[in-house]
Structure 1
């Protein structure tokens, strides 16, 4: 993909979608700095970029911990001298957290708070520490990860859905507030994407029911999301900002 050569992109989060994105960025000649609570996931994401022709470094980062977020941003600056983009993809999707995220009546408030800390406050923290460097360098691109759960009206996962919806407002705030300083900020809202974690944690019957309601003939793949994110991080999307792109096989159709 054009418009990525030598760009330095910070990843907040690793995993299947992150690795697919890293492959596109690496093929375009970008360098990435990946932080995740699981060091092997961060390393695997960096390796995906290297295998495609790019470069990168990995570090252990809990996005809910401001000191760790700042440390990752500082590492990017000390290693590569600048930041050109930020990809927020981290989310609290541990099986225990998912099980405790029920509805507005029954949810464990500790589970609600953890979702806020990771899914929403964590994104604010990365923006807090990355934006000054993006602005100082003349601008750059931010891509935040939402979810199809924002639009589906799900009967469970109240914390996950609410925090992902709030990321949409955060995305538009950054686009509006910092656009004149050269910063673009967009979001992607994936539908059901068949990552390894999805295959392990979601029953086949549930996956089949989602596919039956999807206009497309298959579930999403990590590379479907990765291609969109890479485009938004590239110079090809230079006039695209403040948008939430639903990459979900047509499940969400909005004017």
Structure 2
């Protein structure tokens, strides 16, 4: 049951018009938080906020460019006027469009304009988010900041130079914020999703490649956005009150092992027979 876990909390979710952000916004609202649904896609944010309200939750939508400091100030002030200070932040905005990611290649092939855009959204955007919500959290006696990293920020890949580098830097930002403000009741953590089986991925990757991806996971399926939203809800709630400066990996075990050294192990058809224990009576 999630109802009531975040009663009295005010949450702000970036990149919330679709995907992980939308699932996170809905999960936080279901748990009792009033949610500020923000995204560069204003109509998309409106739609998600409306769905939360229709389900009986509290939400307001705002268009937000996370790289714009003045826009952050306006949204946080509007949220405080409507619901109170933000005490939960899920920094989820990320530049993941196909057109952009297709130009985020290896170091030699990388489009430097993509490098600038990705670092601006992921690093500048989350620094500005922390700067915008921390004063309210400190005044309220604490809060929880959760940012969306990626397993690409934790392992080596031959492509996605900008995205991988930005996500690795984001996890260091988590440790810095957690160190600076933990004594004031503010926790800061990251989630690192693996491959999430969105409709777009399934449409563009093809059935054969999707099957290979599924087989590469220790739990043989792709993730769904609700898997990640559940992790956000845990880190936002008081159930994780002793967890800070950490990255919770939500990837079905994809990044935890070396496939070349891990041949499949066949599950036994039946448990091995255990010989009966014979107890002889003493005479």
TM-score band w.r.t. shorter chain: over 0.9
Give the deviation of 1:246 after TM superposition.
0.5
Q: How does 1:1-80 map to 2 (within 5 A)?
A: 1=2, 2-14=4-16, 15-80=18-83
1:168-203 superposed Cα distances (whole Å, 9 cap, x missing partner)? 000111111100010000100001112244334444
Helix, strand or coil at the partner of 2:154: helix
Larger Rg over CA atoms: 2
| Closer, same or farther: CA 134–201 of 1 in aligned 2, 3 Å | farther
Work out the number of aligned pairs and report it: 254
1:91 paired to 2:91: no
Q: If the length of structure 1 is used for normalisation, what is the TM-score? A: 0.94
Determine the C-alpha separation between the residues in 2 that align with 1:48 and 1:106: 42
Where do 4+ consecutive residues of structure 1 move more than 4 Å?
none
2:232 pairs, out of 229, 232, 254, with: 229
5+ unaligned residues in a row in structure 2: which ranges? 258-283
Alpha-carbon distance in structure 2 between the residues aligned to 1:48 and 1:180 = 37
- What TM-score do the two structures reach when normalised by structure 2? 0.85
Higher helix fraction: Structure 1 or Structure 2?
Answer: 1
- Give the structure, 1 or 2, with the largest relative contact order (CA under 8 Å, sep 6 or more): 1
How far, CA to CA, are the matches of 1:197 and 1:72 in structure 2? 30
Give the 3-state SS of the residue equivalent to 1:50 in structure 2. helix
Say if 1:75 and 1:201 are closer, same or farther in 2 by CA, change over 3 A: farther
Q: What corresponds to 1:169 in structure 2?
A: 172
Q: 1:109: how far off?
A: 0.9
Render the CA deviation track for 1:66-123: whole Å, top value 9, x for unaligned: 2212221111112112111100010011222111111111111111000111111111
The answer as to 2:177 corresponding to 1:178 is: no
Whole-angstrom distance in 1 between the partners of 2:182 and 2:67: 26
* RMSD (Å) for aligned C-alpha atoms: 1.6
| Secondary structure in structure 2 of the residue aligned to 1:100 | coil
User: What whole-Å deviation, never above 9, does each CA across 1:27-57 have from its counterpart, x for those lacking one?
Assistant: 2111100111111321233234335432110
Q: Which runs of 5+ in 1 are unaligned?
A: none
Compared CA separation, residues 204 and 151, structure 1 to 2 (3 A):
farther
